[in-house]
């Protein structure tokens, strides 16, 4: 059974810092991996999608990497801003096309 783990569960950093969020999964047989952002009580905003054949994707200040063989992904956020404060969720698409989510990392960027 696929399990997705995110570390750390919570993170508080001063504005301007670069930071890394970690995601690990137990079964490397995935189709893709997505990183989402979720504000409190709100919906899911897709940030980056990495296909299983890819190693990284970039969008603005965000960079996500994927090492499928070791079951790991990282989300790198450069020059963090208070507006980046949210919960970041990692999800993998399994062999039946459903997404399995991690428990998320709650990020607080302090002004």
| CB of 64 vs another protein, minimal distance in Å | 13
Residue whose structure tokens are 């952002």: 37
Least CB distance from residue 88 to another protein, whole Å? Answer: 11
Q: Is 1 helix (H, G, I), strand (E, B) or coil?
A: coil
Nearer to another protein, 18 or 46 (CB): 46
Q: Which is nearer to another protein, 81 or 103 (CB)?
A: 103
Query: HSE on the CB side for 101, CA within 13 Å?
Result: 12
Residues that bind another protein (CB under 8 A): 31-32, 34, 36, 41-44, 46, 49, 51-52, 89, 91, 93, 96-104
Which residue number, 21 or 93, has a Cβ lying nearer to another protein? 93
Task: List Cβ neighbours of 15 (8 Å cut-off, separation of 6 or more).
Answer: 80, 81, 82, 109, 110, 111
């Amino acid at each position: 059974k696929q399990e997705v783990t995110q570390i750390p569960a919570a993170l508080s950093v001063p504005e301007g810092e670069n930071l890394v969020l970690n995601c690990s999964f137990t079964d490397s047989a995935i189709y893709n991996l997505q990183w989402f952002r979720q504000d409190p009580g709100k919906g899911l905003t897709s940030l980056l999608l990495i296909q299983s054949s890819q190693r990284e994707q970039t969008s603005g200040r965000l960079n996500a990497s994927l090492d499928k063989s070791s079951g790991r992904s990282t989300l790198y956020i450069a020059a963090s801003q208070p507006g980046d404060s949210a919960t970041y969720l990692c999800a993998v698409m399994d062999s039946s096309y459903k997404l399995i989510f991690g428990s998320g990392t709650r990020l607080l960027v302090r002004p």
